[in-house]
Amino acid sequence: MGKVVLVTGVARQLGGRLVRRIQRDPEVDRVIGVDAEGPGHHLGGAEFVRADIRRPAIARVLAEHAVDTVVHLDVTGTPLGAGGRTAVKETNVIGTMQLLGACQKSPTVKRLVIKSSTSVYGSAPRDPAVFTETTPPKSLPSGGFAKDAVEVEGYVRGFARRRPDVAVCVLRFANILGPCADSPLADFFSLPVMPTVFGYDPRLQFVHEDDVIDVLRIALHEPRRGTLNSGTFNIAGDGVLTLSQCSRRLGRPTLPLLLPAVTWVGSALRTVGFTDFSPEQIRLLTHGRVVSTVQMRETLGFRPKYTTAETFADFARSRGPGLLPPESLAEAVDRVAAALSIGVHDGAPVEDGGRAVTQTTHSSGQPG
């Protein structure tokens, strides 16, 4: 008998893709997709069960199908349908509590995979250059999806202590991008002009949506020789990009503003429903965040197909041309950087990702 896999959050594109992909896996016998909303895409031969994971009924679904592997993807920062932020938080936190309670009571569940986020590390001016899985955040996220992810991981650790016989794998994904990306950051990069925090050029990491599917598929199986697929893992493509490099490659100019003005613009954009420019996203676009992926490679045995730069290039192609040709935008930014470097030689520092550096150091990074 093959695995019986239950996947939550299948009404979203990512969940639908995973369900279709693992059905082709010879080690998987049946796939059950669960969501409170009906999916707008096909799920292949998987069985769809309309169920709200915030309700105790999810325990009956596990029991009726004798599920042995649970992949919890319904932890997200964007609403699906009506309800807004309140419904998202309830699904993330209360839904995870109900699901874990059901898994704890189930005698058949032997493997649990959780989709988390590197946002659990927060973004603060005194952050380390690179976070490992064991690095504590300098400042815990105070709200939004990042706080939800912190709470979710806390509940998962409690579950792992109560059910040590269940293999638990927590995947902390960097910002997910690709042609079908649906996230607040993807919305931000789609703005014709991107508001940024004056004096900061944060370092960012991305993971391609195709690599997300591949690593989830690895995590739900028994580990290969020399690997281990239980524990917590950072998942990101190799390399980093600065926000200015992202702007150049998109052909979309930035509008540097003082931090209070950026906060006001973010509130205005949220009010009109254009994009969820949340405080946590503003902190990311101020201080950045970079994580180590050594454990992803050496312990989990996963190597992404896409680097951070390749992931962003694929995303940029899907969004079409920006207002300016990337070459012209790069030349303009370089001219501004050269002019600003005069002030740096006089002793004026510029902030990069929360750290004071000289402009000459900043402009010697990767070419845009």
pLDDT(29) > 90 = yes
| 194, 202 contact by CB (below 8 A) | no
- CATH H-level, domain 3-175+206-238+290-319: superfamily: NAD(P)-binding Rossmann-like Domain (3.40.50.720)
Amino acid at 127: D
Q: Which tens digits make up the pLDDT trace of 284-314?
A: 999 999 999 999 999 999 999 999 999 999 9
> pTM for this structure?
0.86
- Report pLDDT for 347: 44
Length of the chain: 368
Burial of 58 (0-12, 13-18, 19+ CB in 10 A): buried
| 78, 184 contact by CB (below 8 A) | yes
Q: Which tens digits make up the pLDDT trace of 204-260?
A: 999 999 999 999 999 999 888 778 888 999 999 999 999 999 999 999 999 998 988
With CA atoms as reference, report the closest residue to 36 among 110, 112, 128, 98.
98
Q: What is the average pLDDT score of the chain?
A: 86
- Report pLDDT for 356: 37
- Report pLDDT for 344: 43
Amino acid at 223: P
Identify the band that residue 55 occupies on the pLDDT scale cut at 50, 70 and 90: very high
- Report pLDDT for 161: 97
pLDDT(129) > 70 = yes
Q: Which tens digits make up the pLDDT trace of 66-120?
A: 999 999 999 988 776 656 778 888 999 999 999 999 999 999 999 999 999 999 9
Domain coordinates in residue numbering, the chain: 3-175+206-238+290-319
- Report pLDDT for 366: 40
